[in-house]
Structure 1
Amino acid sequence: MSRSDILVVSATKAEAVHVPPEFDVLITGIGKVSAAVAVANALADYPSSQKPLVVNIGTAGALHEHHSGLFVPSIVLNHDISGNAIRALGHEVADRLDIPEGDGSVLATGDVFVSDAAVRDVLAGRADLVDMEGFAVAYACARAGVRCRLVKHVSDTADDSALDWPARIDASARGLAQWLQAL
């Protein structure tokens, strides 16, 4: 697979600022809806025989203090949907996706910007990391029959340290670009 067969997806330009220039980059905007719509639209523009590998890069909050650095999650959860309640009403809902070639970590995705230690601690019972786009990107890819990888770099500990996220993006962006460069 060449780098031209890979679509790098990021929520913000700041997270993708160091991506090597030979990669195609899609900036989706922050949040699940923005990410899902942008990825679905981008994939619709590819011929069915030439769908890319989608690599979603971005920052994440660590839900456990010992987590730092780069992760390639194997499971992604849609943490802010009431999946069990919807299933109890007799409807199916996707709230968990398995991602091949991951490192065993679990990413929780939601539209909530987690900066409260109490919220973090509840999520820590289900996941290792939290972000705002990963599930949406993976879901759009799954619906299109496209391979996807999630690559997240810890920028904070999903507590009040998350409020410094803008100052921490560049360090994460460099780590993400190094991972891409090694492909």
Structure 2
Amino acid sequence: MSNLALIMALPNESKGIFESAGIEVHYSGIGKVNAAFKAFEVIQKTGCTTLLNLGTAGSSHFNAHELVEVTQFVQRDMDVSPLGFPVGVTPMETEYPAEITLTPYFSHLAQGICGTGDSFETGLPKVPCDLVDMEGYAIAKVCKKLGVRLISVKYITDGANDTAHLDWEDNLLLGAQKLHALYNAHFV
């Protein structure tokens, strides 16, 4: 696919596999602010028309080691409910809905709703979602605002529970291998 740029949160998620294959990866760092800034920078720098977000996520819905295409992003940590707003809704935001929907790209992958928040989730999110990450919603919003297509696939590393931090680290290499194989099969 021409005009494609690849963004991931951390080098831990690629384990050097993408770079060894000569694939340029843009790393955002952790969290929504870093992700938004980097997504904007990558789009401006590369002129890409499609941004591919590959990375890891936790889920109590999908099985560990599964690849899931995100078809919608929500904010699991936006909570202004004391002022009467539903959890997940940014107050006074009229231009974009709280849910950012993506057009599916893959027909063979499971699809899910990803809840993004600036915390490592170890329980049930306040907003209904199938998997959780820390960057996706911000990347999706930047892409939506700039008219760039976003394709996002997450490797499920953990159950978003009390052992999530251990499982995440243990499963990074296998995740990088599976994400690289997907990239090679569909974008090379």
Cα pair 1:63 1:127 within 8 Å, conserved: no
Cα pair 2:57 2:131 within 8 Å, conserved: yes
Change (3 A) 1:82 1:140: same
TM-score by length of 1: 0.83
Change (3 A) 1:27 1:66: closer
Name 1:156's counterpart in structure 2. 158
Cα pair 1:76 1:107 within 8 Å, conserved: yes
Matches of 2:90 and 2:11 in 1, distance apart?
A: 40
TM-score by length of 2: 0.81
Name 2:6's counterpart in structure 1. 8
Matches of 1:158 and 1:90 in 2, distance apart?
A: 27
Structure with greater helix share of residues = 1
Residue of 64, 80, 84 corresponding to 2:61: 64
Structure 2 gaps, min length 5:
none
Change (3 A) 1:74 1:65: closer
Matches of 2:160 and 2:90 in 1, distance apart?
A: 32
Amino acid aligned to 1:13: P
Change (3 A) 1:83 1:105: farther
Aligned length, in residue pairs: 173
Greater shift, 97-106 or 140-149, is seen at 97-106
Matches of 2:153 and 2:77 in 1, distance apart?
A: 21
Q: How does 1:132-151 map to 2 (within 5 A)?
A: 132-151=134-153
Cα pair 1:113 1:132 within 8 Å, conserved: yes
Change (3 A) 1:162 1:23: same
Name 1:97's counterpart in structure 2. 100
Name 1:32's counterpart in structure 2. 32
SS of residue matched to 2:171:
helix
Q: CA deviation at 1:53?
A: 1.2
Q: CA deviation at 1:44?
A: 1.6
Give the alignment's Cα RMSD to 1 decimal.
Answer: 2.5
Amino acid aligned to 1:141: C
Q: CA deviation at 1:29?
A: 0.4
Structure 1 gaps, min length 5:
none
**1:42-87: CA deviations, max 9, x gaps?**
21223xxx42311111110012264651001111111111366457
Matches of 2:150 and 2:52 in 1, distance apart?
A: 6
Change (3 A) 1:142 1:68: same
Q: How does 1:104-123 map to 2 (within 5 A)?
A: 104-115=111-122, 119-120=123-124, 122-123=125-126
Greater shift, 53-62 or 81-90, is seen at 81-90
Amino acid aligned to 1:51: C
The 4+ residue runs of structure 1 with deviation greater than 6 A are 87-90
| Percent of aligned pairs sharing the same letter | 28
Change (3 A) 1:113 1:146: same
Amino acid aligned to 2:6: V
